[in-house]
């Protein structure tokens, strides 16, 4: 502990310590926010059935900017991933999609293997039945039962992770015990 004599030395000492406390405060907020972003990414990865693809596993972005005596931290979903993940992170939406049958070969994530390639080469064809059902047919199979790879249905994707809810809850948690003025913003 340094010895302080006189008013000018006391003023200089307080200013120096104040700057140190400010920097420590900023660094603490940055570290806690970064830890929250990493936790949110991990939780989101765990929420995906059969694990997320690398595209999903790298979707959370953390940024910060020191502004004088304050600091602004941002946790967001990257733009490209946000377009893809919006329906499972923010708002449920019904979509028309091919739902695979038990005869379809699937990837680890549950998608039909080689769908685009096989549609382009003509191995898979889209056929519309008399009853209006649209089916995906494998033209290389001879038996009727094995030909139907998927059926087009209207499916609603469930929310797998409440991004905004978890972010707000996590922000309140990391800031508990710290005195100061904080502003939470969505979007």
Query: pLDDT per residue over 22-77, tens digit each?
Result: 888 888 889 999 999 999 999 988 888 777 788 888 999 999 999 877 889 999 99
Query: pLDDT per residue over 103-157, tens digit each?
Result: 888 887 778 888 888 888 888 888 888 888 888 888 888 777 777 878 888 777 7
Query: pLDDT per residue over 86-104, tens digit each?
Result: 877 877 776 777 788 878 8
Whether 115 and 77 share a structural domain: no
Whether 70 and 133 share a structural domain: no
Quick check: is 62 in a domain?
yes
Q: What letters, b where the CB count within 10 A reaches 16 and e where it falls short, cover 21-54?
A: eeeebbeebbebbbebbeebbeebbeebeeebee
Binning the chain into helix, strand and coil, the percentages to the nearest 5 are 45, 25, 35
Query: How far is the C-alpha of 120 from the C-alpha of 9, rounded, in Å?
Result: 79
pLDDT given at position 187: 62
Whether 80 and 16 share a structural domain: yes
pLDDT given at position 25: 85
Backbone angles phi, psi at 86, to 5 degrees: -50, -45
Between the alpha carbon of residue 2 and those of residues 9, 10, 13, 18, 19, the distances in Å are 11, 11, 9, 15, 16
Banded model confidence at residue 171, pLDDT cuts 50, 70, 90: confident
The answer to whether residue 2 scores a pLDDT higher than 70 is no
Whether 85 and 164 share a structural domain: yes
The answer to whether residue 16 scores a pLDDT higher than 90 is no
pLDDT given at position 81: 86
Domain of 117, in residue numbers = 95-156
Quick check: is 139 in a domain?
yes
Quick check: is 181 in a domain?
no
The answer to whether residue 80 scores a pLDDT higher than 70 is yes
Q: Residue 76: which of 87, 89, 66 has the closest Cα?
A: 89
Burial of 85 (0-12, 13-18, 19+ CB in 10 A): buried
Between the alpha carbon of residue 118 and those of residues 52, 132, 148, the distances in Å are 24, 23, 14
Calculate the CA 132 to chain-centre distance: 37
If one compares 5 and 36, the residue with the highest pLDDT of the two is 36
Query: How far is the C-alpha of 94 from the C-alpha of 101, rounded, in Å?
Result: 19
Structural domains of the chain, count: 2
């Amino acid at each position: 502990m340094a010895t302080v004599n006189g008013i000018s030395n006391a003023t200089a000492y307080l200013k120096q310590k104040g700057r140190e406390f400010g920097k420590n405060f900023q660094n603490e907020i940055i570290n806690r926010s970064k830890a929250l972003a990493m936790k949110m990414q991990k939780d989101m990865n765990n929420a995906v059935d059969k694990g997320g693809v690398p595209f999903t596993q790298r979707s959370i972005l953390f940024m910060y900017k020191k502004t004088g005596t304050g600091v602004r931290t941002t946790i967001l979903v990257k733009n490209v991933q946000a377009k893809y993940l919006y329906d499972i992170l923010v708002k449920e939406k019904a979509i028309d999609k091919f739902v695979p049958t038990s005869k379809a070969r699937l990837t680890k994530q549950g998608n039909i293997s080689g769908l685009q390639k096989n549609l382009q080469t003509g191995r898979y064809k889209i056929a519309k039945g008399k009853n209006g059902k649209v089916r995906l047919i494998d033209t290389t199979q001879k038996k009727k039962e094995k030909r139907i790879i998927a059926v087009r249905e209207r499916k609603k994707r469930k929310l797998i992770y409440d991004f905004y809810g978890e972010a707000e809850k996590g922000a309140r948690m990391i800031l508990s015990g710290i005195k100061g003025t904080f502003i939470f913003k969505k979007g």
